[in-house]
Structure 1
Amino acid sequence: MGEGPRAVAVRLLGGVSVTGPAGPARLVGARQRTIVAALALRVGTVVARTRLIDAVWGDDPPPTADKTLNSHIARLRQALAAAGLPDALTTQAPGYVLRLAPGDVDARRFEDEVRLARATAGTDPARAARHLRESLALWTGAPLEDAEPVDWLAAEVARLDELRLAATEDRWALEPSPNVAELEFLAAAHPFRERLWELLMVALYRAGRQGDALAAYLRARDVLADQLGVEPGTRLRRQHAAILAGGEPEPLHDIPEPDDAGAEEPEEDPVTLPQPLTTLVGRDSAVGAVVATVRGRRLVTLVGPAGCGKTRLAIAAAGELGPARFVDLSVVSERLPEAIAAALSLADDGSTDAYHRLVRFLTGAAPPLLVLDNCEHVSEECAELLARLLPACANLRVLATSRQPLRLRGEAVHPVAPLGAADAARLFVDLVRDHTGADVPAEHLDLVHDLCRNLDGLPLAIELAAARATALSVPEIAARLSDRFSLLRNTQRDPHARRHHHTLAAALDWSYDLIDDAQRRLLRTVSVFVGSWRLDAAEALDGDALDLLTELVDRSLVAVDRRDGETRYRLLETVKAYASNRLTDAEAAAARRRHAAHYLAVAEEAASNLRDGHQQSWLARLAADYPNMQAAMRWLLKDGDGTEDLRLATALAQYCKFSGRYREGRRWLALALERRPDAPEELRLQALIEASALAMLDCEYPTSLRLAHEALELTGPDRAEFARLLVLLASVQRETGQYDQAIACVERALVYYRVMDEQPGVARALHTGAFAAWVGGDLDTANRYLAECLPKVRALGDHEAIAATLLNMGATAFYAGDTERARRLFDDALERYQLIGFDEGVGWVRNMLGLVDLRGGRDESARAHLVSSLGVHRRLGDRWRTASVLEALAEALRRTGSSRVAAVLLGAAGAVRAAIGAPVPAVERTDWERTYSALQAELGEDELLAAITEGHDRELDGILASDPTIDRSLTTTSAQP
């Protein structure tokens, strides 16, 4: 310490930052900072990719998590290289290593220095105090404060905060002249920490303020009594007595002498904690967080669903906290004091009752930590007993496990989540090895992750599934999960296994039997939801949902997700399957009918808002609700009556456009239109328009035209729908190379929209006209349309339309030769598209940025943009844009030495264009010809034609996999199903 600024410094004790020899690294976004934190906390050791994914996204990573992690790692490497640390982040199976010295990370330096200070406190207090001062000076704010707020990070923050507070206490215990003002502040901020009150009292007394010191004791006593219902501890009372008598307080850095007077010893020395036979997996940070919480609070309850591993976590934490006594309450049937006294082997000598025997045993300076396991079925009795014991036993600490909080004053509830994906898979693999003596075959590891995800990461379920590996393969176990309650039974001879852990069904029966009829009814009813749901959705199924959900959440039967200010609820798959099995046919029919009606109303409201430009809030809402929308759609198409199926398919078309679900939206509309031939004409008109628009986006141009003309028969030029169909026809004509016809359709649509004073329609037509004009090479017309369009979309507040207009303005600037202006406009558009989560727009901008970089000679950067764009357009199924990106990527590969693969890509693009009937856009034709001529000169005519033919004939996945310079992730990113 004290060596001055470091050339390399990773800061976690405040905002996350990295500084290298060349200056600070540019870290972009909370997720990138989370990755830095996860790597820095384990500096010098390998952090697996799966652990990083869990660290960034928690237990519910998006399907694109692996790919997005690649992007974050690549950008982080660039940022570190720019800071003068080109080799700091290296790949090492199965993940990554941050290759820096531990002393370069402030959190590691802090912990090392605190450890050194405590080791020297007894022999050299002044030196120890100096170490603590300098280590605490490393803190600049709340630890990891600008990283992603995920569960593991919260646990790490709690651990670091506890270390900081303990180090602060140690420092003031060692300083000859403590800072009274700071101790006043700390005692007020942490009123339940008796050591802070002790330090404050002694500091005041030594400053000649005996009266203030005694007043501080009275404040401490009042806080502890009012908030926790307890008296001050033995040591604090002794300091008070010394100060009251005007004597010398006890040394603050000495370990207090135990005071065992009056404590009762057990009749025999019982086993303090059960000794698990298997290793605890994936709970390192959770154990640390529980330990920190227990050190700061007197009653801590671990709360979580059946089989999530509360008991194992409690045993592990208790093992680090010192002497402990363990009491399993799952077998308790008699009165609680007698049961606990018997479990602690406290002799009944007939002179006192069980409660007073407990008080005698648990009274003293250092009584054992009392671990009460499985409190849920005796929660009221447990709360009543602890409400008496904790005030009577001043130094007693209790660690309880339960499926619901005890709801006792002063209780600290610590939720226990299921295991993350990587840790769950590791547990399963370890247990299979234990059962069979063999490793899970490598080809089954991906299936193991899916299986553990299906089991919700519940250790009990994973243990029961792994036990079946003696008779079944991993694929066979996975296939039988549809009947998980028959499969997941304890086949081991374990006389100590609890009754409610012998089968997964028994574990859930235990919880189900503890709730009342109304709560059971709601639990069965909400099993019709898919994924998560909001409170208003639950209330649509049951008007009493709020109170009942609160109870089910408290009892760990319903999980809560809070993100961006919104609360959503969900069932673990195991709980969902259990509740669904108990749902009667009549309950199911009524619930699904109400479920479909609710999501139809949400979809119709969402469609209106999306059309009006309110994409940012609604796209996120619909993404979360979409699994339920799908379920409602499937039910309506099968069992619905009336026209609700056609209404929902029509309403969802707007979201399908924004999310790239073109084919799913088309399929639903086609099925509903066929099913409802007699639907009202207005509804059929809207459905046909949406179906035509989705077919156009899916590059099925003949189908789009057929549906548009069918819709035209149901409307006339006096309606906005007529103009909307003209704009739709213009879009098809643009992509099929009929640029003059497209402009003509736009001009007709503008006439109708202006007569009707339909400003959103005017803006839409202007944008479509500009798009068709610049793609056709008419930049003047494009600019004329765009100049009128931009103020209109800004006035309308349509975020997607603003981004699209900026993108088109950037395109006209680019093709006019002003690449700097083009880049600024593209960057602005990209930020807006990312903000609303519109992938198609992001893919378009990446395409154009790739062209800008190609023109500027930045070939590698161009390739990266184009590869990213290609992945987006292939996933969405936008074959028209896929062909253009392939042609641009061919030029990028040609410039970096992959000429033959480039020629094959030209052929693949040609095959796509032939399949959809769309030529190379006029504005791109010159670039295409330039690439073709260059390849012809490099390869020769015969080899070029052979490569183009190969591109026509081969699957695109195989082509992309044939060149190592192309991101391999694209080889599995095919068009939508």
Structure 2
Amino acid sequence: MYHSESIAEWEPDLAEPIVVRLLGPIEVIGPQGAAILVGARQRSLVALLALQPGKAMGSERIIDGLWGEEAPRTALRTLQSHLARIRHALAQAGLPNVLLSGPAGHVLQLPALAVDAHVFADRVRHARACLAAGALHEAVTAFQEGLGLWRGEAFQDGEANGQASAEVGVLHDMRSSAVEDLGDARLRLGDHARVIGDLQQLLAEHPYREKPAGLLMLALYRAGRGAEALTIYQRLRADLAEGLGADPGPELQQLHAAILRQDPALEIKAAQPISGPAELPPRVGYFTGRVDEFADLDKLLAVREVETDHKIVLVSGAAGMGKSALAVEWAHHVARRFPDGQLFVDLLGHDPQTTLGPAAVVSRLLRGLGVPAERVPDELSEQASLYRSLIHDRRYLILLDNARSVEQLLPAVPATRTSLLVITSRQELSALAVRQPVHFVQMGALDRDTGLSLLRRAVDTERIEGDRAAAAELVDFCGGMPLAIRITAARLASRPALTIADLVGDIRLRELDALAVPGDAAGIRAVFASAYQSLSAPVRRTFALLSLHPGPSFSVHLAAAATGGTTAQTEAHLAELAGTSLVIQEGDRYRFHDLIRLYAAECAKAQEAAAGAQARICDWYLGIAHAANRVLDPGRNRVAIAAEPAQVPFGLTHQETIEFLEGEQPSLGPVVRWAAATDHNVAAWQLTYLVAGFYDSRGRHDRLEMCGAGLRAAQELGHAEAEVLMRNLYAATCVQMRRFTEALEQLDAALNLALRLPDAWYRATTYTNKAVANTWLRRFDAAQDAFERALEIHATISKPHDIALCLNNLGDVQRRAGKGDEALAYLQRALDIAATLAMPRLEAIIRHSKGQAHQALGAHALALAEFGQALVLRRQIGDRRGEASALEDIGAIHFELQQTSQAIAAYQEALELSRLLENTHLESVLLDRIGEALLQEGDLPAAATALQHSLRLRRQIPDLHEEERLQRNLDKLGQPRG
């Protein structure tokens, strides 16, 4: 138990926030003055704890730091005496409850930045970031602030032994490196005269360090003291040869040679700041016109800092009007006005299925600012706070392209006017102006002259002027839409023999109301018609039929299936479509620009093969799902399809299968819903069933909607067996989402149907899922009864896979009910059956359950062995969900054995998987377990962070058992209850 009832962090109410000074004589300054620390060991003890404030340090480590290998037998008793005296001295200085002791060790409960060594490290980190970004003056200031904290040698009147001695050495190395980097920054600024003295002193202290030698040589040379610079090199070369038998490195040799020949490159140039992030995409080719819009934006930029509060520009307009082209062009034009950098994110707002959420937007901005992915906070509010801190009072240009909603944008709005946010959107987003001052730029069509200018630049001036009337007609057909003009220009440029008059003659009007431009709706339709008609008949057919695919992108294999062609033929068709900008190639997948998809869909209506293509798309997905299911979950065998693809486009290993389905995953839900909406109901429910094993492993968030569509399709067909399967899948998904009441409602409806079916298997699988739901609700008697009913049926119909699963589940119930020996008996029977089936997923499930049973009986070594084997199997088959569960239980055993570092490592690995799986319940559980382990280690601030985050997530997904455990851990911190 800690000596203090309160462990809240003390925040010094002082003008100078530093409380503990280690960079010189050791001092502690509290509100009531300096703490009186008697003797070197008391000072050293405070210093050791201050090296890791807020974290507990065990007595053994402290004794090692104070005495090293010469610790007396009475060291522990002496340590306790020192601690008591220090605690009294701190209280006298106005720092009560700062030095705490508990089972995990002793902790100086102060923020890190209350210790000068940590402030020094923080300032050096900031300075180096500024140096890397070319902010030289800011870098010099930060280096000077950090180095100014040194008042002598670290631990000057204390002692440090063992590991502590190494940590003090690290501080001195950091100091030397900071002096070097400060010299580097000053040299870049041309301040060579002031650098010389510091570098001479550093080189005297460290005669073998090459970086200060090089900086000193350069400073001397620039100060007109070239002979001295050469002497520095000769002296270092002699010292290295005599002391180390080595020569100076190549960089120093090159500098020496440059000084000898008085290379002009050594002279100081005007500072050229190294830019920060420069994420703007390339300018669009042949950008033309938009003079008024440019002038409007330039005027805004000229007056905004003194006359307006505008920090947001919204460029809006119809699709294809060149919003992104304008924003990118202008951003490049003014980039120099934002020296800290330019950030860019495509919000993908054209498609509600793929558009980025607010957290994804801010996360990408943070990564653009250099924050490593693993350091990006999980909570949106924390992400936004970090983002605004990083850009505060700096000059960034932030371009967010293709916005769909105000909610996407609000977290990215800068807090100060020094940065500018530029947004493009098809939506007016006028609600944004209710919250923030917004400068609106509305994009309209290009006039005829500007359109002709674009044609001249993209094609050829002589060719356009040679038939100006036809060119003007062509621009008119395009309705002034830049995208349409560009598509037409691409066709002209790629076919030099094609006359503009012939191209205009090919244009035919088609219905395309979604692409209407005020004043000339037919023109855009005509442009796409012209591009379409220029294709060969087979490519036109491919173009049209691919629009039937409802997913966001497609592979060449799907395209071949949709058209009924070979892979080679389809690749050639896609290459032609990509070459004319009618499809976009991204790696090995393709997608339509959403404008062009609309036109392609109109073309598909005229294709007699459209109905057949729909059926082929469904059949292709069923085929690959069936092949994948045989690899991932062969026990799931209630669907037999008519035919599989002639060639399965993935290797039949678990990993290759999983990787392939990961690429198709964004399309699976849309395909199921589309199939159900287009009278392909059999395909809808069968596909939902066949990809269940993939979703069990990957835990994607869209599964419930897919199951709902599959269920409606089965009901539409009046197919009772299919409806039972779909209700069971829907219920299993609800269980994963902790929606147990909804799961049981579905299962009750499924059982009513199953009881009327001649095949008893449907009753058995429904009883099994009812038992699982009841197990999670801790209704163990009801769960065991349902499992026993299922086992009786499975034994009658002799399904080894199902029998093994049922025995596993019965063992799990026995274990949860506290009957470990009975559990192991069931589980061994299950494992014996699984050994004959060569099903790694089934074996992994059973071994995991055996590990849990051994753990319940206290047989930790046996439990770890079973969990380890389960983990190996699950990694082999790409079962992320099972992998996370195995790691969670491995961490739990290490925690029971008080091996907290191993426990935290396992929990952290599982936590990463839970976030990939978007499993909020599991994420909350793991954060609670991590917090509990950190409590055991004595790292109270980190424990509080993890537990509070767990509590926020738990409020979204209630679970009484987990809430009670979480609150017990929060109580140990004195945290408020949720």
Instruction: Note whether the superposition's TM-score is higher than 0.5.
Output: no
TM-score when normalising by structure 2? 0.44
TM-score when normalising by structure 1? 0.44
